[in-house]
């Protein structure tokens, strides 16, 4: 993509510099591949800027995305770029003690607990980039209130970029977000009878 | 995405294992964001598998994607996963001596020279994953013959996965590819007068 010029200059009272540094809410949605993969690709850029990165994986199984997780852990520990904290719902969020919310918690409860932590981190400006992986689902299912998410994101302090992935991103979130990409499937090997394979699917 | 079952079982004489390990040609096209970013995200998985990775950037300027490049270089040198070779057209391909093809070479010549090296590497099975970034453009512009690309990819030896990114991926390539995702723009900050910013665009 060329660096290019914006197609319109908004009448928002901001300087170009202020506008340039405005923190973004990015949404990757659609039924195609690449939603999470592109989010983790974005994390590489954030890492290169030396930013602290927080990943919150809102998925039941912790099996997937081990490649991205291992890579970002190595990068975060390399001392050359930013730091990386990787939180997994599938293994029980790291900040939740087992005796408080154990294995009996429903996925709905777990998803909500994840969102509560994201809120705390946003308020504390813990990270500069948040990857809320598959977070579109709990919103879509009504487990987490989309109005509240938009409200929290709108009023977040400082310069905190937030990337949200998942199919069926709610309309209200899409309306609010700054950058929205729809990944649509043109062709997938499973259509031709091929199963997922290591190095490609995970 | 769930691991799932394929929707059909093809009558191709292959076992499930053979089919699972069939090397893929992946295309990320469309006018939206995330085509390259998702390709570099895929490279994280390949790196995690310990695969040798070759990146060929078919773009004039070497300015973009420094974040991904630095991250993959650190990963490649970490000794924990696969190796990464990063070749840039914008700085003159590393394997081309200045006195053979200097600054006077046209972008068309440079793109073609890049493809010649990809062919040599595919024949030698140098890498397990190839990221041919923005390679759709030289095909679209007719600098590199799409029929030849498809032919070379069809007959490549061993288990070599190839990811090609860029707008306007030629129909013949899309027809041949195993996995094709179209990234479409729903909303972009430049539409609202915002310029690209560090950590997000590069």
Q: Which tokens in the block code for residue A62?
A: 């912790």
Which chain B residues touch A39 with a CB distance below 8 Å?
A: 41
- Which residues on neighbouring strands pair with residue A80, listed in sequence order? none
What are B156-191's pLDDT values in tens digits?
A: 999 999 999 999 999 999 999 999 999 988 877 767
**CATH classification at residue B136:** 3.40.50.300
Residue B76 lies in a domain: yes
Residue A45 lies in a domain: yes
Residue B17 lies in a domain: no
Mean pLDDT confidence for A104-129: 94
pLDDT of residue A22: 82
- Total domains, chain B: 1
Across the interface, whether the CB atoms of A37 and B32 are under 8 A apart is answered: no
What are A23-47's pLDDT values in tens digits?
A: 999 999 998 888 999 999 999 999 9
Residue A10 banded pLDDT, cuts 50, 70, 90: low
Across the interface, whether the CB atoms of B10 and A193 are under 8 A apart is answered: yes
Phi, psi for A28 (deg, rounded to 5): -110, 110
Structural domain of A120: 26-160+169-184
Residue B117 lies in a domain: yes
CB atoms inside a 10 Å sphere around CB A99? 6
Q: Which of B23, B27, B48 to mutate to test the interface with A (most CBs of A within 10 A)?
A: B48
In the three-class reduction of DSSP (H, G, I as helix; E, B as strand; rest coil), residue B132 is classed as strand
Q: Which of B24, B41, B194 sits opposite A37 (nearest CB)?
A: B41
Give dist(CA B170, CA B5) in Å, integer. Answer: 30
pLDDT of residue A1: 38
**Does residue A19 register a pLDDT over 70?**
no
Closest CA in chain B for residue A21: B197
**What is the ipTM for the molecules in this complex?**
0.77
Residue A42 lies in a domain: yes
C-alpha neighbours within 13 Å on the C-beta side of residue A128:
20
What are B116-136's pLDDT values in tens digits?
A: 999 999 999 999 999 999 999
Across the interface, whether the CB atoms of B128 and A32 are under 8 A apart is answered: no
pLDDT of residue B103: 62
Q: Which of A23, A193, A196, A202 to mutate to test the interface with B (most CBs of B within 10 A)?
A: A193
**Does residue B60 register a pLDDT over 90?**
no
Across the interface, whether the CB atoms of A200 and B26 are under 8 A apart is answered: yes
Number of inter-chain CB pairs under 8 A, A vs B: 263
Residue B202 lies in a domain: no
The more confident residue out of A39 and B97 is A39
Closest CA in chain B for residue A51: B199
H-run or E-run covering B46 = helix B35-48
In the three-class reduction of DSSP (H, G, I as helix; E, B as strand; rest coil), residue A47 is classed as helix
What are B5-51's pLDDT values in tens digits?
A: 566 666 666 666 665 668 999 999 998 888 999 999 999 999 999 99
Residue B19 lies in a domain: no
CA torsion angle A40 A43 A45 A48 (round to 10): -130
Residue A15 lies in a domain: no
Residue B2 banded pLDDT, cuts 50, 70, 90: very low
- Mean of per-residue pLDDT scores for chain A: 87
Which chain B residues touch A74 with a CB distance below 8 Å?
A: 74-75, 78, 80-81
């Amino acid at each position: 993509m060329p660096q290019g010029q914006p197609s319109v200059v908004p009448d928002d009272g901001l300087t170009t510099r202020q506008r340039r540094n405005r923190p973004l809410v990015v949404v990757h949605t659609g039924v195609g591949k690449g939603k999470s993969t592109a989010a983790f690709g974005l994390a590489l850029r954030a890492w290169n800027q030396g930013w602290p990165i927080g990943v919150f994986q809102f998925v039941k199984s912790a099996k997937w995305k081990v490649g991205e997780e291992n890579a970002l852990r190595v990068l975060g520990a390399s001392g050359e770029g930013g730091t990386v904290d990787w939180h997994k719902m599938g293994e029980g969020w790291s900040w939740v003690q087992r005796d408080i919310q154990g294995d009996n918690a429903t996925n709905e409860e777990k998803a909500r607990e994840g969102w509560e932590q994201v809120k705390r981190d946003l308020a504390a400006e813990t990270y500069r980039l948040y990857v809320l992986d598959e977070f579109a689902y709990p919103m879509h299912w009504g487990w987490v209130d989309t109005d509240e998410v938009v409200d929290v994101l709108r009023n977040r302090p400082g310069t905190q970029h937030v990337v949200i992935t998942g199919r069926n991103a709610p309309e209200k979130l899409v309306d609010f977000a700054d950058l929205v990409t729809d990944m649509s499937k043109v062709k997938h090997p499973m259509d031709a009878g091929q199963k997922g394979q290591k190095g490609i699917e995970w």
